[in-house]
């Protein structure tokens, strides 16, 4: 009788082991399936905006990919109150004291300058930032017209962010009569987290 109980105990132990191993394998598959459903880590690009043309303007621009959309947040400090135009320019080069080394507006689709989202506009036509009495301002924009780190003509990496002394009038060609360049930053791919 004692042998039968012992055999039964071994069978129960073996059955328990088989079930545990099966659950472990199923759990690994379930975790992998869940991982396949999660979106890939988002790409990011950043620009640190520094002063040009004798201004004190500083700030940041952060581009983040969320699905097929690129979200942009630009924050500036130490600017004169009022509307200040901000654009993406052709080159990520802020070496000239007046920011002209960044070239003209980024316009890979060769369209007329305008207001973002209305009629024709450059891919670099971001808009105007309202700067408060405290010298700070912020603008946010989301679009599926840009890319990050792809090397395509729509890739923002390697371009420049320019803050202008005046407002963009959205009609003057080719750049909206926004005035001097008072801030410049180079858009670079952020390191992976």
Question: CA-CA distance, 71 to 55, in Å (whole number)?
Answer: 27
Per-residue pLDDT at 24 exceeds 80:
no
Buried b / exposed e along 45-69 (16+ C-beta atoms within 10 A): bbbebebbbebebbbebbbbbeeee
| SS3 of residue 184 by DSSP | strand
Q: Of 137, 138, 49, whose CA–CA distance to 88 is shortest?
A: 49
Q: Residue 168: how many CA atoms within 13 Å on its side-chain side? A: 28
Nearest one of 85, 128, 124 to 107, comparing CA atoms: 124
Res 21: pLDDT: 52
Q: Which 8-state DSSP code applies to residue 83?
A: E
Question: Among 42-56, 139-153, 168-182, which stretch is predicted with the lowest mean pLDDT?
Answer: 168-182
- Chain segment 55-78, per-residue pLDDT in tens: 999 999 999 999 999 999 999 999
| Four-way CATH pick for 44-189: 2.115.10.20, 3.90.1150.10, 2.60.40.200, 3.30.70.920 | 2.60.40.200
Per-residue model confidence as pLDDT tens digits over 80-138:
999 999 999 999 999 999 999 999 999 999 998 888 888 888 898 899 999 999 999 99
Q: Give this prediction's pTM.
A: 0.77
């Amino acid at each position: 009788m004692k042998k039968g109980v012992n055999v039964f105990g071994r069978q129960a132990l073996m059955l328990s082991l088989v079930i545990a191993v099966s659950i472990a394998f199923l759990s690994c598959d379930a975790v992998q399936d869940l991982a396949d459903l999660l979106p890939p880590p988002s790409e990011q690009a950043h620009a640190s905006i520094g002063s040009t043309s004798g201004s004190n303007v500083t700030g940041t621009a952060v581009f983040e990919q969320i699905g097929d959309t690129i979200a942009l947040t630009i924050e500036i400090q130490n600017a004169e109150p009022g509307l200040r135009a901000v654009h993406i320019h052709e080159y990520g080069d802020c070496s000239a004291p007046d920011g002209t080394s960044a070239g003209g507006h980024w316009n890979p689709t060769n369209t007329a300058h305008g207001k973002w989202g209305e009629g024709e506009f450059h891919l670099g036509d971001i808009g105007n930032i309202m700067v408060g009495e405290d010298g700070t301002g912020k603008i946010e924009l989301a679009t599926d017209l840009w890319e990050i780190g792809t090397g395509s003509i729509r890739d923002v990496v390697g371009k420049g962010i320019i803050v202008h002394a005046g407002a963009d009038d959205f009609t003057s060609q080719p750049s909206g009569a926004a005035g001097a360049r008072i801030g410049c930053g180079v858009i670079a791919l952020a390191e992976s987290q």
